[in-house]
Amino acid sequence: MLSFGYDHPTISSTDHPTVREINTFAEIGAEYALPGNYLVDFFPWMKYIPSSIAKWKRVAEERQKKYSAMFEAMFCEVEDRIVRV
């Protein structure tokens, strides 16, 4: 049995969409955290390249928005229930 917190019921399958999405988030985070995986680690000036011409930066920004929204939605759902009580 798995439980992903935020006051949701326990999930009994690793094939549940939420479990898969959180696992993907963890894998991506591990990839980003590994020093030297990206040229920007060696050339810090690259962080100033506009997103419109740097696909790696666009992808990172899109992922940040996606996962922030996912975790914020989980949090806000519980927060709303607490406020209503």
User: What is the domain partition of the chain in residue ranges?
Assistant: 17-84
pLDDT at 5: 56
Phi, psi of 11 (to 5 degrees): -100, 130
pLDDT at 7: 64
Please tell me the distance from the alpha carbon of residue 85 to that of residue 71, in angstroms, as a whole number.
Answer: 22
Please tell me the distance from the alpha carbon of residue 30 to that of residue 24, in angstroms, as a whole number.
Answer: 10
pTM: 0.73
- Can you give the pLDDT of all 85 residues of the chain as single tens digits? 444 555 667 888 888 888 899 999 999 999 989 988 889 889 999 999 999 999 999 999 999 999 999 988 888 887 887 887 7
Q: Residue 2 contacts by C-beta under 8 Å, 6 or more apart in sequence?
A: 10, 11, 12, 13, 14, 16, 19
Please tell me the distance from the alpha carbon of residue 78 to that of residue 20, in angstroms, as a whole number.
Answer: 21
pLDDT at 1: 44
pLDDT at 67: 94
